[in-house]
Structure 1
């Protein structure tokens, strides 16, 4: 693998350096970014913030199914 900056990595493999248990999230992010026709750099930055500042720093679940479940009480991203 080449040594890419996070802002250039459409595979989001860097997220596994935060925690290998983010693999499912990484797969979803990679699949989603492939569907975009434009705004890729903004999308990558947004995903980076979501992974680092929200999921990782807030110690939220690493399971996307639990996170997206209607019973999951997520923290307010803006607080």
Structure 2
């Protein structure tokens, strides 16, 4: 199954690590991909001061968010 969620992150970002852990806590292992904004020029231009950002299609969830907010957002975008 292809990951449907993208988590924009970068190396050494402790907030990004927290966001990834929230996804794992909700049982979403294998359903998201990590994109390091340093490796993607367009993502860097768009998200460099906003990471972590979770994206599904055209829907984006910007940090800060907690597990409850993430779960609600996921229900809304499906």
TM-score normalised over the length of structure 1:
0.33
Normalized per residue, the structure richer in helix is: 1
Normalized per residue, the structure richer in strand is: 2
TM-score normalised over the length of structure 2:
0.33
